[in-house]
Amino acid sequence: MATNIISIVNQKGGVGKTTTVINIASYLALKGRSVLIVDLDPQANATSGLGISKENIIFSSYDIFNKDQPSFTAFTTRIKNLDIIPSDTNLSGVELEIMNLAGREYILKTLIENLGYNYIFIDCPPSLGLLTINALTASTAIIVPVQTEYYALEGLGQLLATFQAIKASTNPNLEILGVLLTMYDKRTTLSNQVREEIFKYFNELVFETNIPRNIRLAEAPSFGQTIFEHDKWSKGSKAYKNLAKEILDRTKPN
Ligand SMILES: Nc1ncnc2c1ncn2[C@@H]1O[C@H](COP(=O)(O)OP(=O)(O)OP(=O)(O)O)[C@@H](O)[C@H]1O
Ligand SMILES: [Mg+2]
């Protein structure tokens, strides 16, 4: 059975992409799925958020795009069943380096499509450049986290245009797995209004689970921990657990 390859994508910064990747990937790994995270963001927040330090990295996502790469090895995290291809800052130059290569959109796909994991989650950078295009070309589906705020819908048009362009060119089978509301505060009318607004556009594609604004989620990466290690009784932990279950329901078992 083919791997579910899921990009977490939104070109808007700080909407909860990396927090979502770390916590759903680790939850599915805890539940016995074999999971790989690809950190495709030069900021390397997923890498540092899992407590991985630079000295230990022998193969990074930069090496994926480097022709003279050594053979691929995923980094085994301390969490059972969870591997990562960590990022490093050199990745920021890669879009220029590969710009004129034939097949530049397929480089990531070629490496990850037959690795045999149950799930691969790709943490995208906050842009719609060639790295994100590589991610979307390699993916079976995308999850779009949207911060619950007044300007939530702004920029989604551009993201959807990119999604359609990818479907029309490098990846006709790409799907939207779901739209996720993050930093949600159920006590405010604004949050409820934003949810309604997003629902009008995306209907049942909107995940039932909202991720609440929760300080424990914001703290966890500074300890290099997932929310399940940092505070498994927190609201954030419960929300990501519920989201992971929805993801299991929406994806094919493999
Ligand atoms: N539900 C939440 N409640 C509180 N803080 C959160 C929540 N989700 C994320 N944060 C915090 O908000 C900031 C942005 O989150 P995160 O890094 O996950 O976003 P991102 O979309 O990956 O950002 P970037 O576009 O820079 O990669 C981080 O400091 C993170 O710890
Ligand atoms: Mg991020």
User: Per-residue confidence of the chain (254 residues) as pLDDT tens digits?
Assistant: 689 999 999 999 999 999 999 999 999 999 999 999 999 999 999 999 999 998 889 999 999 998 666 678 899 999 999 999 999 989 999 999 999 999 999 999 999 999 999 999 999 999 999 999 999 999 999 999 999 998 888 889 999 999 999 999 999 999 999 999 999 999 999 999 999 999 999 999 999 999 999 999 999 999 999 999 999 999 999 999 999 999 999 998 87
CATH of the domain at 104: 3.40.50.300
What is the pTM for the complete model shown? 0.97
pLDDT value of position 253: 81
Q: Domain total for the chain?
A: 1
The ligand with the least distance to the CA atom of 16 is 1
Closest CA to 184 of 161, 160, 208: 208
Both tokens assigned to 237: 């932990």
Ligand 1 atom closest to the CA of 20, numbered from 1: 18
CA of 170 to the centre of ligand 1 (A): 30
CA of 2 to the centre of ligand 1 (A): 30
User: Best of 12, 19, 132 to mutate for ligand 1, by most ligand atoms within 8 A of CB?
Assistant: 19
DSSP, collapsed to helix, strand or coil, labels residue 177 as: strand
| CA gap 130, 236 in Å, rounded | 32
pLDDT value of position 178: 98
Both tokens assigned to 116: 């045999």
pLDDT value of position 69: 64
pLDDT value of position 228: 98
Both tokens assigned to 10: 């939104």
CA of 20 to the centre of ligand 1 (A): 8
User: Best of 18, 181, 214 to mutate for ligand 1, by most ligand atoms within 8 A of CB?
Assistant: 18
| CA gap 75, 84 in Å, rounded | 5
pLDDT value of position 237: 98
Neighbours of 91 (CB within 10 A): 22
pLDDT value of position 23: 98
Query: Do strands 4-8 and 35-39 pair parallel, antiparallel, or not at all (unpaired)?
Result: unpaired
| Range of the structural domain that residue 9 is part of | 4-250
Ligand 1 atom closest to the CA of 19, numbered from 1: 18
Find out whether 89 and 114 touch, Cβ atoms under 8 Å.
no
CA of 46 to the centre of ligand 2 (A): 7
The ligand with the least distance to the CA atom of 14 is 1
pLDDT value of position 1: 61
